[in-house]
Amino acid sequence: MACICFPEDAPAPRNGERYNFAAGPAMLPPTVLAQIQDELPDWQGSGLSLLEQPFTGAPFKGLMHEAEQDLRELLTIPPNYRVLFMHGGATCQFGLLPLNLLAPGQSADYLDSGYWAAKAIAEARRHAPLNIIASGAGDDFRSIAPLEQWRLDPRAGYCHITSNETANGLQLQHFPELSVPLVADMSSDFLTRPLPVERFGLIYASAQKNLGIAGLCLLIVHDDLLEAPRPGLPSPFSYALQAEQQSRLCTPPTFALYCAALMLCWIDQQGGLAVVADANRHKSQLLYQHIDASDLYHCRQRPADRSAINVCFHLRDPRLLPEFLREAAAAGLLNLQGHAAIGGVRVSLYNAMPLAGVERLLAFMRDFERQHG
């Protein structure tokens, strides 16, 4: 069998280190990568790789318990919430939410805030009637409808929001207290800031942004929402049954869970969520300040709704975009292309992105504007 050779994403950068601004899977901290590399052949002196550890054994159960406790401490999760480690990404939950949380024929409220909210709406509609409480489609998702414009249904089984729109560069800055359970897709800004967990009925987030690698979806679910599964819902997809079995009803995504455990420790070592939130705001503010003062770059999003995690902008002359992306990659600034449905430039500033990466990007943007402005 011939070997498969994988080409490099980009040529070696002209000025040293590469910075990965991908929206996901995202960059990992170098120290976490080094720990994975060091522990992979022999985990905790067991003589076995983590990849070979039985999920029913005491060592791996201990890892899951420690990861849950670390998460509970970081977010101050109340005791009447369960933490679930489930397979797949957030997209899997788009259909599982109505199947787990709604009675047959019961409706749910959804906020249409951008690309990923629309995906969640389309999938949920296959399983339940929905009420769209507000939509930003009228202004091409340049802002998020404020709470006073939400047309909420007090009989809804839950109200679904997308806390951060990675493709559109929008982010909810505050979370309301509602009369129905608030459900949030937080895939891209989970663990980037403190959260009032008690305001939510359920939070879900895929891991490959701020919590490790692809393959794991983490859920925080209020006990009151753990209902007996609907007839026909496979047991591994039931929140209640997974909670009963401590997320081990079937084999969990063990390697992704291990990486998540390392990332939780890393966030704690940085000083916790308040510290990383300040760092993320600082990184994004540097970019927005430069973009707003520029004659070449412009950001379409309303400032009050701009994401601190995914900075999206365009070049006033779109013909320059391919050259911008090529030269950025050559300078070691990788994966800056905007979402395929939106275009432009997207700078993803997850927790692992250091300030040095943003400063390198700003220097490149200034040089590019001097050449092409």
- Are 264 and 345 found together in one domain? no
Mention every residue, 6+ apart, whose C-beta is less than 8 A from residue 223. Answer: 80, 81, 82
Task: For residue 119, indicate whether it is catalytic.
Answer: no
| Domain termination residue (choose one: 254, 270, 286) | 270
> Where residue 16 falls among pLDDT bands split at 50, 70, 90?
low
Q: In the chain, pLDDT over 90 holds for what percent of residues?
A: 88
* Domain interval for residue 353: 272-372
- pLDDT over 50 (residue 290): yes
Q: Distance between CA atoms of 54 and 368, rounded to whole angstroms?
A: 52
Position 43 scores a pLDDT of 87
Position 9 scores a pLDDT of 43
| Domain termination residue (choose one: 205, 239, 270) | 270
Position 11 scores a pLDDT of 47
Q: Is residue 28 part of a domain?
A: no
Amino acid at 309: I
- pLDDT over 50 (residue 220): yes
Mention every residue, 6+ apart, whose C-beta is less than 8 A from residue 23. Answer: 166, 167, 188, 209, 310, 335, 339, 346, 348
Half-sphere exposure of 103 (CA within 13 A, CB side): 4
- Are 305 and 203 found together in one domain? no
Q: Is residue 173 part of a domain?
A: yes
Position 28 scores a pLDDT of 95
- Are 206 and 231 found together in one domain? yes
Position 230 scores a pLDDT of 85
Mean pLDDT (the chain) is: 93
DSSP secondary structure, 48-88, as one string: S-GGG--TTSHHHHHHHHHHHHHHHHHHT--TTEEEEEEES
- pLDDT over 80 (residue 1): no
Span between the terminal Cα atoms of the chain, in Å = 52
- pLDDT over 60 (residue 363): yes
- pLDDT over 70 (residue 14): no
Task: For residue 150, indicate whether it is catalytic.
Answer: no
Q: Is residue 13 part of a domain?
A: no
Task: For residue 42, indicate whether it is catalytic.
Answer: no
pTM of this prediction?
Answer: 0.93
DSSP secondary structure, 233-301, as one string: --GGG-HHHHHHTTT-SS---HHHHHHHHHHHHHHHHHT-HHHHHHHHHHHHHHHHHHHHT-SSEE--S
- Reported as a single tens digit per residue, the pLDDT across 62-100 is 999 999 999 999 999 999 999 999 998 899 999 999 999
Catalytic residue among 185, 189, 266, 283: 185
Catalytic residue among 43, 112, 116, 305: 116
Position 211 scores a pLDDT of 95
Pairing mode, if any, of strands 108-112 and 159-162? Answer: parallel
- Total number of domains in the chain: 2
Query: Which of 231 and 244 is assigned the larger pLDDT?
Result: 244
Averaged pLDDT for residues 224-238: 92
Identify the CA nearest to 80 among candidates 167, 253, 200: 200
- pLDDT over 80 (residue 322): yes
- Are 349 and 249 found together in one domain? no
- pLDDT over 80 (residue 10): no
Query: Which of 94 and 47 is assigned the larger pLDDT?
Result: 94
Q: Distance between CA atoms of 336 and 370, rounded to whole angstroms?
A: 20
Q: Is residue 18 part of a domain?
A: no
Catalytic residue among 209, 266, 283, 305: 209
Domain CATH number, residue 341: 3.90.1150.10
- Reported as a single tens digit per residue, the pLDDT across 119-176 is 999 999 999 999 999 999 999 999 999 999 999 999 999 999 999 999 999 999 999 9
Which H helix or E strand runs over 347?
A: strand 345-348
- Reported as a single tens digit per residue, the pLDDT across 101-120 is 999 999 999 999 999 999 99
| Domain termination residue (choose one: 210, 243, 270) | 270
Q: Is residue 363 part of a domain?
A: yes
* CA distances (Å), origin 115, targets 136, 162, 270, 340: 10, 10, 32, 11
